[in-house]
Amino acid sequence: MPPAQALSIAEEKGLDLVEIAATATPPVCRIMNSGKYFYQQAKRESEARKHQRHIQVKEVKFRPKIDEHDFQFKKRNVERFLNDGNKVKSTVIFRGREMVHSEIGRRILNRLAAELTETAGKEKKAKGSDADGAAPPAPAAPQQKKKARSPAPAAAGDGEVKS
């Protein structure tokens, strides 16, 4: 249909002629109420933003000479962060002569990972020690809960599938 004829039909109905696909041959246009369409589209986008979850990365710092109670306390904090849906970065901080014994830091992080197997999964392997002594971080993320899939519903007589 020629553009002039489409424009006259849109004016008769009190609607707008909106170009949908300008690069198509011939260009695709639609007769619609553009104000209502863009309003509804903005509402859908804002509704989608409301349901988004912002994940934070929490950091828990350990020392090589950490006591058992302190370790358990920090482990409970890590579990709480993971249950809230956040990611956790565990770091062992070395000072002075402690930097020589990086295996102690690895032992602490491996123990933390072993005790949190039900709650978290490792995202990255622990890195080597940094020059400032703050190393090796081991990020963890909450485990993904697997959704039970129900069998697909039977198709209706008109070929539509209800979801």
| CATH code assigned at 85 | 3.30.110.10
Domain check: are 79 and 124 in the same one?
yes
- Determine the Cα–Cα distance for residues 81 and 140; give it in Å rounded to an integer: 10
Would you state the pLDDT for residue 70? 94
Measure the CA angle with vertex 143, ends 137 and 148; round to 5°: 165
- Let me know if residue 151 belongs to a domain: no
Residue 71 and residue 130 share a domain: yes
Instruction: CATH number of the domain at 27, please.
Output: 3.10.20.80
**How are beta strands 28-32 and 57-62 bridged, if at all?**
unpaired
Supply the range of the domain harboring residue 93: 57-142
- Rounded Cα distance between 116 and 141, Å, is 11
| pLDDT above 90: percentage of residues in the chain | 19
- For residues 63 and 138, state if they share a domain: yes
Q: Are 16 and 32 in contact (CB under 8 A)?
A: yes
Return the pLDDT at 26: 84
Q: Are residues 9 and 62 in the same domain?
A: no
Q: What is the pLDDT of residue 61?
A: 93
Task: For residue 148, tell me if it sits in a domain.
Answer: no
79 half-sphere exposure, CB direction, 13 A CA radius: 13
Does 122 have pLDDT greater than 90?
Answer: no
Is residue 92 in a domain?
A: yes
Strand, coil or helix: 56 = coil
Measured at the CA of 132, the angle between CA 71 and CA 97, to 5 degrees, comes to 70
* pTM for the full predicted model: 0.50
Q: DSSP H helical segments within the chain, as ranges?
A: 3-13, 34-50, 68-83, 102-115
Cβ(94)–Cβ(102) under 8 Å?
yes
| Residue environment code for 68-77, b if the CB has 16+ CB neighbours within 10 A, otherwise e | eeebeebbee
Same-domain status, 75 and 130: yes
157/115: higher pLDDT? 115
Top-confidence range, 41-45, 47-51, 127-131: 41-45
Q: Is 80 helix (H, G, I), strand (E, B) or coil?
A: helix
Compute the distance between CA of residue 116 and CA of residue 135 in angstroms, rounded to an integer: 20
Contact 28, 21 (CB under 8 A): yes
pLDDT at 112 over 60: yes
